[in-house]
Amino acid sequence: MGLIFFALTLLLPACGEQDARSTPAYFIPPTISHRAEQIPLETPTPIIPTPVIACENDLAFVEDVTVLDNSYHAPGDVIEKVWLVKNTGTCNWDANYRIRFIDGATMEAELEQALFPARSNTEAEIRITFTVPAQSGLAYSTWQAYTPDGQPFGEQLWVQIIVDPDLVPTGTPLSTP
C-alpha cells in the first residue's frame, strides 16, 4: 500500500504540470433552438432630400446709355449700343446666359452674344456693335435675353435709328449719348 501511495504522489504532480503548460482543445457544439426568434432590426431614419428651390430669371430695362431711339446716323457708320439693365430675378447670370437677335435688322451684329454676368438685384450694361444699314429711313433691331437652357426671359431690348443718306459716315464707332 505504501508503494501505491508513493506512485500516486509522484504521478499527480506530473499530470498537474502538464495541464498547466498546455490547454487541451475542447469542442463546444452550437446550441440549437427549436423555436424561431425574431431579431429586432433598427428602422433606418429616412433621408429627406433638401428641396431645391429654383431661381427665377428676369431682366428689366433701365435706360439707353448710348444711341438714343430715333437718333440720325449715316449709312455705314459703326455704332455701339449700350443698354443699362437690372437683373430683377433671383438667378445670378453667368457666362452661359445669352442675348439673341429676335426681330428687325441685324445691322451686321452677331446674332447671339454673351449676356454680361450679373448677380441678382444688380445692374449691368449690355453692349452690341451695329453697322448702320445703307437703306435710308427707320431701322431697328430687337434682342431678347435667354437662360442657359434656352428659355427667353425679361424685357426685350432694341435699338431704333433713322438712317440719313445726307450725313457723312464718320468711319469710327459712334456711341452717341
pLDDT digits (tens, 9 = 90+) for 13-52: 555 555 555 666 777 766 666 666 676 777 777 888 777 7
Question: Per residue in 64-91, pLDDT tens?
Answer: 999 999 999 999 999 999 999 999 999 9
Length of the chain: 177
46: buried, middle or exposed (CB in 10 Å: 19+, 13-18, 0-12)?
exposed
DSSP 44-59: PPP-PPPPPPPP----
Q: What is the DSSP letter of 118?
A: B
Query: Among 155, 174, 145, 7, which residue's Cα sits nearest to residue 74?
Result: 174
Q: What is the pTM of this model?
A: 0.67
Host H or E run for residue 20:
helix 2-21
Mean pLDDT, residues 99-122 taken together: 96
Domains of the chain (ranges; CATH) run: 60-163 (2.60.40.10)
Does residue 174 surpass a pLDDT of 70? no
**14-45 residues labelled b (16+ CB within 10 A) or e (exposed):** eeeeeeeeeeeeeeeeeeeeeeeeeeeeeeee
pLDDT band at 137 (very low <50, low <70, confident <90, very high): very high
Within 13 Å of residue 93, how many CA atoms lie on the same side as its CB? 27
Provide the percentage of residues in the chain whose pLDDT is more than 70. Answer: 75
